[in-house]
Structure 1
Amino acid sequence: MKIALYQMHVIPGKPEENMRKISQWFDQLSEEIDIAVLPEMWNTSYRLSDLNQLADEEGNVIIPFLKKKAKALNKHIIAGSIAYKKGDEIYNRALVINKEGNCINTYDKAHLVPMLNEHHFLTSGEKKSTVYQLDEIEMGTIICYDLRFPELSRSLALEDAKVIFVPAQWPKSRIDHWKALLRARAIENQVYMIACNSVGYCDESEFGGNSLVYGPDGSLIDNLYYDEGTLIVDLDFDAQEQIREAIPIFNSLRTDLY
């Protein structure tokens, strides 16, 4: 399975311009790509105080756009997350669109960042992230700050997720945490951690790039640095199964103790 990640400079507060950038990126992808991955809040970036005006009302603009692109390109899209408005509430919502043009999974970010006062502008998701299938492979999605809460990734692994996607706008100042936490989640769950971060600025916040993929043994498969660009990786699920057989951690879980 071949996957492309867009390490994107999201233009703050400009949803239409960001959609044009993404549309151009999709159109440049090789036919060999199976899954295209976008970062967090790619329609608005972190213009939180403006989200009432900027957020996509019930996904009425972005979801049809993604469905059309996925079907036309015959690619699955892990559509990062968007600022999604429903009534008076605004969510940081992850979207998964399959290559048939169907939205097969959504997830609203459960853990809101207190350092950014996200809880003043966004509504926390009330349902956990769930596993979905693309090309008969079980996968899951968490969003940025969720990475700091290992229980969420473990819950997906216990549902037999082989891959966990992490769209993010992770700050450059804490990029060491980003890499350490992603590697830990990969090792402890024996999953591929596929992390798509942003670059550039939103007001005073600088995002740290370093989009990367860790294998189920914690090995770094490939990564980008601090510039906008595309990362392409191949996933080997036979090798993953060998890792799980060699160190069968899930057979050793003590659910009677924790």
Structure 2
Amino acid sequence: MRASLIQIAVDPDEPVNSRRRRAASLVREQRERHGADLVVLPELWPTGAFAYTSFVDEAEPLEGPTYEVMAEAAAGAGVWLHAGSIVERDPEGPLYNTSLVFSPDGELVRAYRKIHRFGFDTGEAVLMGAGEELVTVRAADLTFGLGTCYDLRFPELFRGLVDAGAQAFLVPAGWPARRRDHWTLLTRARAVENQAYVLACGTAGTHAGMEQAGHSIVVDPWGEVLAEAGPAEEVLTVELDPARVAKTREQFPALKDRRLR
């Protein structure tokens, strides 16, 4: 499987509809130019992960404008598409930070509401509801577990995804530049301890005055970094080998020695 991570820049001067069209064009480009089977976008790229004051105004229903553009992009390119996340407006509840995964037919196959909300009783932590469901999706020959940004700091979530069959993790993020060292450390730790691929896609640019780390990264099941972006807008394309997960878990069967669950 060939995967492309699109580290899109979020510029507050770029209209949201323009950024949606640009993202869709980038999705199609990965298939046409790089032969990607899977494309991944970052967390809250339509609004900016730290643009809290815009969340209420920019919130959209699950099958809203971002859904429509991304479903068309996935179908047009014929790729599996993790379309990053949106501010979802639930008509019967609060806002959610919700990731969308589309099949190559443009069908929404899974949605994941972020479980761990960042902010320490401010921002996302008070503006959004918490998801409650661990979510996996089978794409081609790999089972992916879904997490979002701050979720990386909670290893029990990823162990739960491994118990649900995950061989790889898709983690869109809007990670701040001042904590970039943590980003690299945590992505590699989640890969090593779970013997799974980690595909972590961040944003470039500045959200509401918060400079973004960028540095999207792909880590293999042994913890080796296969590709890493810089701070600016960039695309990473890597090959994923399902056999690599099985081989790592067979040759170093640490998961079999778990005692606490």
TM-score tier after normalising by the smaller chain length: over 0.9
- Residue 61, structure 1, aligned to residue 45, structure 2: no
Report deviation, 1:64: 2.1
Match of 1:73 in 2: 77
- 1:9 aligns with 9
Task: Give 1:33-52 correspondences, 5 Å limit.
Answer: 33-45=36-48, 46-52=50-56
Secondary structure of the structure 2 residue equivalent to 1:29 = helix
Indicate yes or no: 2:34 matched with 1:30. Answer: no
| Residue correspondence of structure 1 range 122-201 to structure 2 within 5 A | 122-125=128-131, 127-201=132-206
Contact 1:15–1:54 under 8 Å retained in 2: no
Per-residue CA shift, 1:105-153, capped at 9, x if unaligned? 111111111255212321221x222211011421111000000000001
Residue equivalent to 1:241: 246
Letter in 2 for 1:131: T
Return the TM-score normalized by structure 1: 0.94
Shift of 1:208: 0.2
Give me the whole-angstrom Cα distance separating, in 2, the residues matched to 1:136 and 1:215. Answer: 16
Q: Is the 8 A contact 1:138 1:160 kept in 2?
A: yes
Is the contact between residue 25 and residue 73 of structure 2 (CA under 8 Å) also seen in structure 1?
no
Amino acid at match of 1:66: M
Which structure 1 residue ranges, 4+ long, deviate > 4 Å from structure 2? none
Give the distance between the partners of 1:132 and 1:234, measured in 2 at CA: 18
CA deviation vs aligned residue, 1:213-251 (integer Å, no higher than 9, x gap): 010000011111111010000011222211110111221
Letter in 1 for 2:174: Q
- Rounded to whole Å, the distance in 2 between the matches of 1:18 and 1:108 is 22
Residue 63 of structure 2: SS of its match in structure 1?
A: coil
Matched with 1:121 is 127
Pick aligned residue for 1:204 from 205, 209, 225: 209
Question: Deviation at 1:185?
Answer: 0.4
Q: Which runs of 5+ in 2 are unaligned?
A: none
Q: 1:213, 1:108 → 2: CA distance?
A: 22
Distance 2:136 2:62 in 1: 22
Q: Which is worse superposed, 206-215 or 52-61?
A: 52-61
Structure 1: segments with no counterpart, 5+ residues: none
- Whether the aligned pair in 1 keeps the contact of 2:24 and 2:70 (CA below 8 Å) is no
* RMSD of Structure 2 on Structure 1 (CA): 1.5
Contact 1:131–1:140 under 8 Å retained in 2? yes
CA distance in 2, matches of 1:4, 1:215: 15
Relative to the length of structure 2, the TM-score reads 0.93
Percent of counterpart pairs with the same letter? 31
Whether the 8 Å contact between 2:141 and 2:242 is mirrored in structure 1 is no
Amino acid at match of 1:24: S
Q: How many residues align?
A: 255
Assess if the C-alpha contact under 8 Å between 1:76 and 1:97 holds in 2. yes
Decide whether the 8 Å contact of 1:49 with 1:121 is kept in 2: no
More displaced, 127-136 or 169-178?
127-136
